[in-house]
Structure 1
């Protein structure tokens, strides 16, 4: 990737396994990548609470991340309203009816 002009790596971001990893695993992955390369690192922060996000930001910065990218929690079933189809209670407009 470096040969192709990449200037940074995004680690533990919102796609792939990032959101499912434990916090300790995320820190170990970040440290491993930082030990392996000199390229800039963008560390992904994904948490269900603000306190946990702030903690992750501090620890990822302390581990050596050059920048951070934050992802909000996934929507819960209660927060996403799925509209239901309602049966038609009136007859169609005469203008739309077949001749």
Structure 2
């Protein structure tokens, strides 16, 4: 019985050694596969691309530019009207001033 037990134990050890050898061989195969795939992965683009603006964003920008330019046009017209009014008032006051000086 001891002889059979020793044989079974030796067979179990041999199987364990064979299993470890098979595991090492499979690990080596996996490592070789990874080494072949690694250069392909390195050639791939690793940085993140910035996405372009969407159509809605471009429309929003265009509307903002239009509104801004219309506002600037109205502001320019208001400044021109104010300058004309100020010049007219100045000329009228100057005329009144001269007529009062001549009347004395």
Q: TM-score over 0.5 for the alignment?
A: no
Higher percent of residues as helix: 2
Higher percent of residues as strand: 1
RCO (CA 8 Å, sep 6+): is it higher in 1 or 2? Answer: 1
Structure (1 or 2) with the larger CA radius of gyration:
2
TM-score, normalised by the number of residues in structure 1: 0.22
TM-score, normalised by the number of residues in structure 2: 0.21
